[in-house]
Every structure is written in C-alpha cells, then in structure tokens.
Chains A and B, each alone.
Chain A
Amino acid sequence: MLDDTFKAAFESKPKAVSLELQHEVEQFLYWESKLLTDRRYKEWFGLLAEDLHYWMPIRSTKIMREVAQEYTDEQGFAHFDDNWYTMKGRIRKIMSDVGWSENPASRVRYLIGNVMVVPENENTINVVSASMVYRTRQERQLDVFACERRDVLRRVETEAGFEIVRRTILIDQSTILSNNLSFFF
C-alpha cells in the first residue's frame, strides 16, 4: 500500500552499488539540503521534476496488530500532497515579503544519513535516506523532526545530475509538535 516499488526494492538487503553512484547520490542529497539551509529556494525548486509528487502522509498511533495502517494512503489526508505547480506556489510564498511563517526567516539544518541506493534502471534511482531536520526560529522556538525519505531520482543533463521525481516523507511524529511546517523536507 505504501509505495510498492519501494517495498519490493527493500524487501531484502539491497545489493551494494558502485561507490561512485553512492557518492553521486549522497552529494546530490547534501547539495539539495544545503540549498534549503541557505534559503536558495529557486535553485532548490530547479531540482524538482515537472512530474513531481511530494507527499508526506499522516502517521497515527496504532496497536501492533493494525500497525500496517499507521500511515494514511494516497487517497487519504496528508501533511503534504503537492505537485510541481503547487510547489511552485509554495516557493512563491516563501520568497515573498509577506510570508509571515518564514519572515523573519527560520534557520533550518538537515542531517542526511542512512542513504541506501537501489537503481531501477540507468536513469531512475530509488533512494532511501534518513533526515533529521533541526529548525529554530524567532527568539527561542526549536523544532526537531526525524523522517525517512523515499526519493525517486531521475538522471538529467544538469550540473546537479539528478532531479527529484518523487519524494515520500515518512515523518516520525503523529501529532506534529510544532506550530507549522512552513519549510521543506
């Protein structure tokens, strides 16, 4: 239910990919998060594919027997359920002078780890990573989020080398312990 491609790809331990590919993918993820940390939103948006689906389902507390249903599915309500056009609107908002949730600006840092790479073919690469997002804003607001990200990357002839076709963000919190999610994951 929650993304069958990924379920299949990570059913058993993925085969080790070349160090070069692993390195390339990791550098792309680091670059992407640096752009966000540095608030270079237009350039970050440039890494998103036009057929993007950027999705963060809602997680809830379930007893072990029903734990398979802890995330909403694609027909359910979500924290983010965006395509390229709506992401463009979000970029317009965050870069405007009147986007109060990010003006004054937040300080957001990303620690990306646990990067596992499973190529689907030469051009399409499935990547799982863990991300710790550390945000402070205003005088003393502090938010910490941990999540797994399931990305589908596509090789493109750009300096960055890839574009993000799909990003599924599996956030660990059920009740979001913050006043908003006004930044990107």
Chain B
Amino acid sequence: MNVKANVGATGAYSDAEILAMIDEKNGKYDPKIYVDEALYRLELERIFARTWICMGHESQIPKPGDFTTAYIGEDPVVVVRQKDASIRVFLNQCQHRGMRICRADSGNAKSFTCTYHGWAYNQGGDLVSVPMEKEAFGGCLNKAEWGPKQARVETYKGLIFANWDADAPPLDEYLGDVKFYMDIMLDRCEEGTEAIPGIQKWVIPCNWKFAAEQFASDAYHAGTTSHLSGIMAGVPEDVDITQVAPPTEGLNVHLENGHGCGLFLRNPMFYMTIVGPKVTEYLTTGPAYEEAVRRLGQGRADVNLCHTNVFPNLSFLAGINTVRMWQPRGPNEIEVWTFTLVDKTAPQEIKDEWRRHTSRTFSAGGVFEQDDGENWCDIQQVLRGHVAQNQKFNIEMGSHTVTADNPEGFPGLSFAYTYSEESARGVYRYWTQIMTAPDWDAIRRIEQRPLAAE
C-alpha cells in the first residue's frame, strides 16, 4: 500500500503515511493535517470535489431566477432556481477565458452574461448567446458543448447539496444515519424550516477541520473553559457562573461517511443561555414540542442541542439552529458562512427571538463564537513552528467509554460519553481513508469499523 498518493498534486505523502496520521488506538494524531499545502490540494480534489457539499437552503431562492453564489471547496458556483422549481448548480466560470459569470452574492436574474466578452447563459447555465457568433466563429461554435460544468444537485428537507462526482452515491445514501440527527433541526414540524434572510460571512485564519471537528465532536470546550463568558452573557447578573453546572447526560456519536455529532439529553441549560427562555419554552413544552414528539419520538424530542458536522464542511446546532458552511481558503484560512433556520410554523415572536439570539451568540460578534475564532487562529499560528508541527496531538478522550450501542437506541457506528472524542476520531480516520481512496469504488470499500469493535 506504499503508493504515492496523487503524485501530480502532492507527491509529498504516501498513502501509508496519510493513513498513519491518525492513531486511534493510542489516541494520537498528526497536526500536519492542518497546515500542509500538499494535503490541502489533495483535500480539494479528493474530498470537496467528490462529496456532497451544502449550498444553502431552498427558502433562500424561492422564485424562478433567484440565485445565490456559493462554493464547492474553492470552486465558485452559481445556485439558481429554475422555472420548473428545480435547482441548478454550475461552475461560476465562463469556458471561453475563465471569467466569473455571476458577480453578485445573490439576486434574481433572467440570464447571466460574462462581462469579459459577453457570452450569455440562461438561468440553467446553458450557453445561449455568443456575440458576433456568425462573423467571429464562422457558425461552427457548438454552444451546447461550452456551458460551464454542471454539478449534481439534490436536497434534503430544505438543504441544497451539490456534487461534482458522477460516481458518488445519491445524497440520501451519502448522508445515511446523520439524517436521523439532522431531522432534530429540520423535521420538528410538518412544514419544516425556513431560513432567516441573510448569510453572514467572515474570515478566520485557521484550517477548516478545526471547525468541522469541533461541531462533530467537541462538547468538551462548551462544558469547560471556552464559552464560560458566553454563558455569563446569557444568564441573569446575580447567577454565580461557577455554580452553573453544564449538562452531563448525552452522547458523542461516531457516524458513517465521516459525519459526526454529539448531543445533550433532557437538560435545556444550553438552550436557556443561548436562545433564551422563550425559544427554550417553545422547544421543550407546548404544541410545537408535542408535534416534535409525534414526528421524532420522545428520545429525539428531548435532545436539548445536537452539535453536528456533515462531512466535510456543513455544521449546525440543532435547537439553536445556526447552520454554517466552513469554506476552505488554503490550509490556513476559512470563510465562515452562516445563517439561521426557524420552524416555518413557529409564531413570529419565536422566530424573532431565535434570530436575535443566534446573532447574539453564534456569529462573528456572537458571545460564544467570538471565542472559537480566538482559539483556532492561535492554534494555527503556533503550527507555523517546525517543532510545533512535529508534535502529536492528544485525541484519546472517552476511549474507555466507547460502546457499539446506546440506551436511547439512536443510530451510529459507535457511541461514547457526552464529553468524549469518539466522533472526532471517526472524522479524522475517515479523512485519512477518503484522502487515500482513488475513486468512489474505493471510497465505498472503506472499512469504517470503529475502535469499539476491535
């Protein structure tokens, strides 16, 4: 197996070396995965260009011609609602000289015209008009061949996903068991969810996997030091913060295909401090809660916050309903793109509260998220050091608690105590596997057996 991985793009690491970057059994991993330029180029090829990437929410483009621009890794795309209500996603690149076809963040358009030489595309991205076609091309330009590359598009309960790879499995199969946890946010009520208008974007100089792994697995930072001041900002002044006990009942869940999540059960402490008493009441009592019990079952209706990462870069906090895409910008930087979802049938007052509180807590200025941005960029800076890059990081938390099953009967490959890194180990192990798999046939053969089974 000591074959050079993708020699053209990297040449730097063999498959065996990449596979050895996580050592689950000994709870160690290699921080070079966060900084290496060659590994990053390979991620763009082997992860972002082959997996299902979130483009946003259907409610952001309700009418024909409504569009947003988005990214699949570093490749810009245009996401457009069609006349027949379907959605097209195509590369935002004119195939004549490579200019960006659509230059706004969002809007409504009948067509898209390249500003360089005027090649014009319809709402579906098909090339329909070329200036001076007859005179300049002699009538032999086959326009059907020269549209921008189209991506596969599928949706799951309102979220739009795109994929470049024709051999990838359908979205439903790719998501697998993570759908069970996505539904805690997306399927509480018959009508589903809608996005609060507006996508917030900001830059954090850190590797995208810090963010992805944190949402997949890291309840520890929330229950310990990172967000103490965020919690403080959301509780009454007379509450002694040292006396606020973080919830301890819950699960850390390692899911297939690199997905991961963790959740708190039957203790809405984080709801109270993050989305406030009104939304907490809405989520945990009354008709909306009863509908959630009917639709999701008692167990999932009593999940009070589920932090999730859908591999590779879509994260959300079910209950808080902040959704984010971590857009990679080199190994050392991300753009965070985030928006808020609300139950479509929630009273307006609840939607307003939800919106104000996600802005207050999970945004660039959010009293929780400010501190994540601080931690990740310091880690990334330290990793500039030669010696720092050659240390091993500890990822052994909760190994002694790993089981193949859980009392709630929730699905997953393996489970551990609330504050644990079983899901993180799963994310990084899958990362090494997909990075060394040449195609989807090989990805399908990935052995995802977790530590618990060994």
Contacts and interface: CB of A to CB of B under 8 A. Distances in A.
A176 B336 CA distance: 10
B374 A77 contact: no
Interface in A30-63: 56-58, 60-63
Interface in B328-385: 335, 339-340, 352, 355-356, 358-360, 363-365, 367, 369-371, 373-378, 381
A93 B368 CA distance: 10
A96 B105 CA distance: 38
Interface stretch (B194-202, B286-294, B400-408): B194-202
B296 interface: no
Interface in A74-88: 75-82, 86, 88
B356 to A, nearest CB: 5
B229 interface: yes
A175 interface: yes
Nearest to B233: A89
B303 interface: no
B199 A90 contact: no
Contacts of A63: 103-104, 107
B202 A179 contact: yes
Interface string B102-116: 011111100000000
Given A86-B356, A100-B229, A179 B377 contact: yes
Interface in B217-265: 225-226, 228-230, 232-234, 237
B89 interface: no
Nearest to B69: A61
- Residues of B contacting A: mostly: mixed
Query: Interface size class for chain B?
Result: 35 or more
Contacts of B104: 60-63, 66
B374 to A, nearest CB: 5
Contacts of B367: 89-90, 93
Q: Which of B226, B233, B365 has the most CB of A within 10 A?
A: B365
B105 A89 contact: no
Interface in B138-187: none
B203 interface: yes
B340 A77 contact: yes
B131 to A, nearest CB: 20
Nearest to B203: A177
B205 interface: yes
A12 interface: no
A174 interface: yes
B359 A90 contact: no
B94 interface: no
Contact of B373 (A66, A81, A86, A101): A101
Contacts of B226: 100
A70 B110 CA distance: 19
Contacts of B355: 75-78, 81
A180 B234 contact: no
Contacts of A177: 202-203
Contacts of B229: 92-94, 96, 98-100
A60 B360 CA distance: 20
Contact of B198 (A72, A86, A89): A72
B87 interface: no
Contacts of B101: none
A178 B364 contact: yes
Interface of B: 103-108, 196-205, 225-226, 228-230, 232-234, 237, 335, 339-340, 352, 355-356, 358-360, 363-365, 367, 369-371, 373-378, 381
Given A81-B356, A179-B202, A181-B364, A76 B196 contact: yes
A182 interface: yes
Contacts of A90: 233, 367
Given A58-B199, A86-B360, 20 more contacts: A62-B106, A66-B104, A76-B196, A78-B198, A78-B359, A79-B200, A81-B356, A92-B232, A96-B229, A98-B225, A100-B226, A101-B370, A101-B374, A175-B202, A176-B201, A176-B203, A179-B364, A180-B365, A180-B374, A181-B365
27 contacts: A58-B199, A58-B200, A60-B106, A61-B104, A62-B104, A66-B108, A75-B197, A76-B196, A76-B197, A77-B197, A77-B359, A79-B365, A86-B233, A89-B232, A89-B367, A90-B367, A92-B237, A93-B232, A99-B371, A100-B226, A101-B371, A139-B381, A141-B377, A174-B201, A177-B203, A179-B204, A179-B205
10 pairs of A and B residues whose beta carbons are closest in the complex: A77-B198, A89-B233, A181-B365, A101-B370, A176-B202, A179-B373, A99-B229, A72-B198, A60-B105, A93-B233
A92 B108 CA distance: 43
Contacts of B197: 72-73, 75-77
Contacts of A178: 202-203, 364
Q: Which of A57, A76, A180 has the most CB of B within 10 A?
A: A180
Contacts of B374: 100-101, 179-180, 182
A62 B105 contact: yes
Contacts of A89: 232-234, 360, 367
B222 to A, nearest CB: 13
B365 A77 contact: no
